[in-house]
Amino acid sequence: MAQFAEQMQGLESNILYPVHDETNIDGAWDFTLTYDALASLAVLRVGPPPAAPSDSATAQAEDPSGSVSFLDAVQKQLGLKVETRKRPESVLVIDQMREDPIDN
């Protein structure tokens, strides 16, 4: 699962930060995800936004085309949740810079 978490950022354009594995699942796993790689891309719409779904529409798919995004596939097919959290990270701070180089 740690290897899959490392690769997730390259598989989904909406994942902006590195993914850390917190599943505590050890070992090697083989699984297949079925998703549409283009489903998460923003689509330009002309006209007003779509209306909110009514009670009769709850049984229908969220997307009329039936395409599933990568993150939806991870959650629905694998039962894993991807969350954004704040974490401490190492940074390099440059507090001063000289125009003229100094001799060593």
- The distance between the two most distant Cα atoms of the chain, rounded to a whole number of Å, is 77
pTM: 0.59
Go through the chain and tell me how many residues it has.
104
What letter would DSSP give residue 71?
H
Per residue in 34-75, pLDDT (tens digit) is 888 887 774 434 445 555 555 544 444 455 556 888 999 999
Residue 78 tokens read as 């694998």
Per residue in 65-97, pLDDT (tens digit) is 568 889 999 999 999 999 888 888 889 999 988
Q: Are 66 and 25 in contact (CB under 8 A)?
A: no
